[in-house]
Amino acid sequence: MELVTIDDVRSAAERIRPHVLRTPLLPARWGDAERPLWIKPENLQAIGAFKVRGAFNAIGAVTERTSGPVDVVAYSSGNHAQAVAYAAATFGLRAHIVMPEETPNVKVQATRDLGARVVLCGAGEREKVADEILAETAGVMIPPFDHPDVIAGQGTIGLEIAEDLPSVRTILIPVSGGGLASGIGTAIRALCPQATILGVEPELAADTAESLREGHRVDWSIHDRNRTVADGLRSQPSALTFAHLQRVLDGIITVTEDEIRSAVRELVYRGRLVAEPSGAVTLAAYRNAATPPGETVAILSGGNVEPRMLEQILADPR
């Protein structure tokens, strides 16, 4: 299997530069003295999550390979939906986003507001519906993580960290489908070989931790994975991302639901940043696991939290 290379990540950085925020690496004076902490605030991206990086790189690559407009298709109920809609609109392309019927209306509307056509589908139908749209439109599918261009796009975060803090000792990255950790890990392995690269999963959706221990992908039921409050971390790696994770990760830390909620609160009051639970798992790991001493970067992957959930977490983080 061919893995993404540092050159792919560098090409992605060139491609997305005009469209994506180069986030600062924020020094968090409130970290431990022996593990100085920096936050990489991807919640500040235009749609509130790192997903724009992969989407702009994948769609940008499509536009380079094709002449004339092409439709793009994606299925997602989360941040990938808005990222694809936003990137497609920027390139003047039509986007078709397949979403489950139970998607909260606010997310459907946000995706439509970005100019996309939203197609609602029943449970288990999303691939069939997406395939039909692909056939009708002769379009291109932009998957949320299972694609080299998406992985390379997310990897640009690693490039920026290597530029801003080349002596980094530990990097903490949320793991769901694994595209983010695959990309960042690829960049950091190449540029900061001294760094320890750790994935972070909720205890309630720790399929990748188990898979890495077993040496092959282990399936957790979607029922089990849906238990975590971190709704962006309920996917599982593909063969492609799992191969990257086996290569680049030094380990995976799991965190509890209470630890995640406390981390959301800490980011609000000490970091002045709004994180969704999935984006706060890395601070939860920093606070509750024995990570290595030295300069530490926690990836804050996104900030799209439902108002009611944030209010509840702030009122009672445990």
Could you give the residue numbers annotated as active site?
Answer: 51, 301
- 131 or 163: whose CB is closer to a copy of itself? 163
CB of 116 to a copy of itself, least distance (A): 14
Q: How far is CA 24 from the centre of its chain?
A: 17
Q: How far is CA 268 from the centre of its chain?
A: 20
For 15, residues 6+ apart whose C-beta sits below 8 A from its C-beta are 56, 57, 60, 61
> What is the Cα–Cα distance from 312 to 26, expressed in whole angstroms?
26
- Which residues of the chain form contacts with a copy of itself (CB under 8 A)? 21-24, 26-27, 29, 41, 43-44, 46-48, 86, 268-269, 271-275, 303-304, 307, 310-311, 314-315
- 48 or 237: whose CB is closer to a copy of itself? 48
- 3 or 309: whose CB is closer to a copy of itself? 309
CA distances for 117 relative to 75, 93, 95, angstroms: 12, 11, 6
Task: Give the number of residues written for the chain.
Answer: 318
> What is the Cα–Cα distance from 244 to 3, expressed in whole angstroms?
7
CB of 45 to a copy of itself, least distance (A): 9
CB of 314 to a copy of itself, least distance (A): 5
> What is the Cα–Cα distance from 285 to 170, expressed in whole angstroms?
12
- 275 or 297: whose CB is closer to a copy of itself? 275
307, burial (CB in 10 Å: exposed 0-12, middle 13-18, buried 19+): exposed
CB of 26 to a copy of itself, least distance (A): 6
Bridge pairing between strands 72-75 and 140-141: parallel
- 21 or 222: whose CB is closer to a copy of itself? 21
CB of 120 to a copy of itself, least distance (A): 24
